[in-house]
């Protein structure tokens, strides 16, 4: 059956649908030697190329083992950036990932330069979109160390909702953790991934975050035995759990 070209190429791990659409608009995608247009549909027998390099989209031969999308979990250290390349020459989260025979790794959301913890990658654009899209309400959980002791009214405001420059935001839950003196740990959850949202929420109450670690994304948790800079591939069972939202 024919399907939209953006959907097919994203599912093949060749980029997000938005990225594929930009390639098409730039005239870099061809179908059967003709320049593709946004909204074109592909059939299994169509010949597709990007920058005149053939992309293999044929179904697997009969009897061949079917393989689903790959998902990597990565323990991001502080100081790495979540882009494929950096003009300033800083190390990116993609630098140490294994190479793919076809397609590329897509990050599921981002973590800012000074945030460490769990970051997911997949070669499947549709899966990445499903895990990131706000309508699916996939929980993200963070361990956050705050300078100072928040008052009860401040914690209530953070779960009731506070206005930020890009709209009202809130934590789904806040749980107190360990801490003595001026630093206190909390575990917080939220179901969206706006830029620096966790930090901005605390800052809205006049509180400073001096340590931030993502410890869970959906059903995937950061194992205690992993160290910053390590990555590992999720099993099919773990991927199924991620998608059970």
44 CB-near residues (< 8 Å, 6+ apart): 57, 58, 59
Instruction: Give pLDDT, residue 30.
Output: 92
Please tell me the number of Cα atoms within 13 Å of 112 on its side-chain side.
Answer: 12
* 45 — pLDDT class (breaks 50, 70, 90): confident
Report the alpha-carbon distance of residue 131 to residue 109 in Å, rounded. Answer: 9
**112, 160, 166, 240: which one is catalytic?**
112
* 95 — pLDDT class (breaks 50, 70, 90): very high
Report the alpha-carbon distance of residue 190 to residue 181 in Å, rounded. Answer: 27
Check if the beta carbon of residue 17 is closer than 8 Å to that of residue 5. Answer: no
6 CB-near residues (< 8 Å, 6+ apart): 17, 20, 21, 24, 38
Task: Determine whether 112 is an active site residue.
Answer: yes
* 119 — pLDDT class (breaks 50, 70, 90): very high
């Amino acid at each position: 059956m024919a399907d939209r070209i953006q959907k097919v190429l994203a599912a093949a791990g060749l980029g997000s649908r938005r990225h594929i659409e930009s390639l098409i608009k730039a005239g870099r995608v061809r179908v059967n030697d003709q320049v593709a247009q946004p909204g074109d549909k592909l059939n299994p027998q169509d010949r597709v190329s990007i920058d005149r390099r053939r992309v293999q989209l044929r179904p697997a031969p009969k009897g061949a083992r079917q393989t689903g999308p790959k998902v990597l979990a990565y323990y991001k250290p502080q100081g790495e950036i979540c882009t494929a390349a950096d003009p300033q020459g800083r190390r990116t989260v993609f630098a140490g990932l294994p190479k793919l025979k076809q397609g590329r790794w897509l990050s599921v959301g981002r973590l800012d330069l000074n945030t460490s913890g769990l970051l997911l990658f997949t070669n499947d654009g549709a899966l990445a979109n499903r895990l990131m899209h706000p309508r699916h309400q996939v929980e993200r959980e963070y361990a956050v160390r705050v300078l100072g002791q928040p008052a009860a009214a401040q914690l209530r405001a953070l779960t009731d909702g506070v206005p930020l420059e890009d709209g009202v935001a809130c934590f789904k839950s806040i749980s107190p953790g360990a801490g003595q003196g001026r630093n206190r740990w909390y575990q917080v959850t939220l179901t969206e991934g706006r830029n620096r949202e966790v930090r901005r929420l605390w800052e809205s109450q006049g509180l400073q975050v001096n340590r931030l670690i993502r410890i869970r994304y959906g059903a995937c948790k950061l194992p205690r035995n992993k160290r910053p800079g390590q990555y590992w591939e999720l099993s099919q069972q773990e991927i199924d759990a991620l998608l059970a939202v």
